[in-house]
Amino acid sequence: MAKKVMAIIGTRPEATKMCPVIHELNMHPEWFETRVVATGQHREQLDQALSHFRIRPDADLNLMKENQTLSYITSTAIAELDTIISDERPDFILVHGDTQTAVCGGLVAFFHRIPIGHVEAGLRSYNKYSPWPEEINRKIADVVSDFLFAPTPGCKDNLIREGFDENCIYITGQTAVDAAAMTVQADYIFKEERLNDIVNRKGKRLIAVTAHRKENYGPPMERMFRAIRRIADEHPDVSVVYPVHRSPVVRAAAHEMLGGHERIHLLDPIDYPDMIHLLQRSYLVLSDSGGLQEETTVLHKPLVLMRDTTERPEAVAANAVFLAGTDESMIHGTAARLLADEGFYNAMANAKNPFGDGHASKRIVQIVAHHFGFVSELPQPFQLEM
C-alpha cells in the first residue's frame, strides 16, 4: 500500500531544492502518494519556482503579507499546518533547509509524532546571528527530525559532533545540483527582456550581484554597494546586473547608491531559470546569499561572498568561493583581482564541486522507500570529488 509523503515548502530556495525530490517521489506512485503543501512565506518567487518545475501545491496557506514578521509567519504557519496535518495524516513529512516554514513544518510533524526527513541538514556557521535567523532555524529542524539528509560529509560531521545518531544521518549530495541540471539550457532566452540585451553585449564582462541578508542592513550593505560601484567605475568593460530584492530597505539602499550608473542594471527580482542562466553567463558573482554558494560552484563561476560567515565552508575550502566579509576594501580588492589576474580567476573557476553529482533526490527517495520496506538496500552515500 502506498505511503502518504507530505513535502512542505514556503520560499523559492525551498521550492527549487525540493522540487527535484517531489519529481522523484512522483515517479514511484506504487510507493508514495505525494502531497505538496505551500505556506506562501514568499509569494511571487515561490510561485515562479513551482511553475518552472511544474509542481502544483495540493494546499496553499498563502501566508505572506506586507511587512510580515518572523513571529507572524511562525505562529500562523504552525496553526495552519497543524490543521492540514491533522486532516491529511501523512506517513512521512519532508522539510527543507533553514526557513520559518522548515521549522514550523518540522515542529508540527513532531507534535503529531510523524517521521520527519530534513533535506539539507547539518549546515552550520556556529554564529547564531549569522545567517539570521537561519542558523537557529536549521538547528531546530535538525533536532526534531528523524532522517537527516546531509548534503556533504562535513555536514554529517557537524551533526555527529552535536550528538546526533550516526544511523539517522545520510550523505545525499545537494539537491540544488539536481535542480540546476534540470534547468540549464544551451540556447536559453531570458524571460526578463533586458537581460537578453545585457548578457549579449560584446566586449563586456558580466558581474551578477545579489544582496539581501537582514544582518547586512545598514552600514555593511552600504560598504558592499560602495565596493560594487567602484568596480563598475574602474572597469569600463564590466556590466553589473543586480536583481534587487523586494525588501524596502534593500531597494532604497540599492537605488540610492547604485542607481544612475550606465553599466549597473538594477532589475526587479527574476525567476529561477533566469537567475541560473544569469549566473551561467556571468564572469564572476558578488553575493551575500546562502544557496548561490552552491549554484556558482556547480556552474564554475567565482563567487565573492559578501558576508562574515558561511554555513557552506566546503565551497571556501574548494577555492570556489572567497569569503570577503562586508569590508569595502576586501570586496573591491578581490573582485578587481579576479578581473585582472587570470591565474587567480582560473583557480577559482576550475575548482572542484563539493556539493553533489545530480543524484541527491534519488538517494533521498530511496532512503524513504527503504524506511517503508519498498527497497531492500540503502543507496551509496555521495562522495566528494578527489
Give CA–CA dist 309/213, Å, rounded.
12
For 23-73, write each residue's pLDDT tens digit.
999 999 999 999 999 998 877 778 888 999 999 999 999 887 887 899 999
Q: Are 117 and 94 in contact (CB under 8 A)?
A: yes
Query: 253 is written with which cell numbers?
Result: 539602499
Rounded to whole angstroms, what are the CA distances from 251 to 47, 179, 282, 327? 21, 28, 22, 20
Task: Provide the 3-class DSSP secondary structure of residue 352.
Answer: coil
The pLDDT score that the predictor gives to residue 68 is 86
**102: which residues sit within 8 A by CB, 6+ positions away?**
8, 10, 14, 95, 96, 118, 137, 138, 141
Concatenate the DSSP letters of all residues of 290-317 into one string.
STHHHHHHHHT--EEE-SS--S-HHHHH
Amino acid at 107: L
Per DSSP, 215 falls in state G
Q: For the chain, which ranges sit under pLDDT 70?
A: 385-386
Cα separations in angstroms, 352 against 164, 266, 320: 29, 31, 8
Which residues are CB-contacts of 338 (< 8 A; sequence separation ≥ 6)? Answer: 284, 302, 304, 344, 345, 348
CA 219 to CA 235: how far, in whole Å? 25
In Å, what is the CA distance from 382 to each residue of 154, 180, 295, 351?
12, 17, 18, 18
DSSP assignment of 320-348 equals: SEEE-TT-HHHHHHHHHHHHH-HHHHHHH
Name residue, grid cell 539602499.
253
**Residue of 361, 385, 304, 386 whose CA lies nearest to 181:** 361
Assign 3-state DSSP to the chain and report helix, strand, coil percentages, each to 5: 45, 15, 40
Which of 385, 326, 324, 329 lies closest to 354, judged by CA?
A: 385
pLDDT tens digits for range 155-175? 999 999 999 999 999 999 999
Could you tell me which of 363, 356, 227 has the C-alpha nearest to residue 293?
A: 356
Question: What is the per-residue pLDDT for 299?
Answer: 96
| Dist. CA 146–CA 221, nearest whole Å | 38
d(CA 349, CA 177): 17
Q: Look up the pTM and report it.
A: 0.93
For residue 237, what is its C-alpha cell?
A: 568593460
Question: Which has the closest alpha carbon to 50: 327, 251, 374, 272?
Answer: 272
How many degrees, rounded to 5, is the angle at CA 171 between CA 305 and CA 139? 60
Of the candidates 193, 221, 380, which has an alpha carbon nearest to the alpha carbon of residue 287? 221
321-323 sheet: strands from edge to edge: 264-267, 238-243, 205-210, 284-287, 303-305, 321-323
Tell the residue number behind the cell numbers 533521498, with chain if given: 364
In this structure, are residues 107 and 140 in contact, taking their beta carbons and an 8 Å threshold? yes
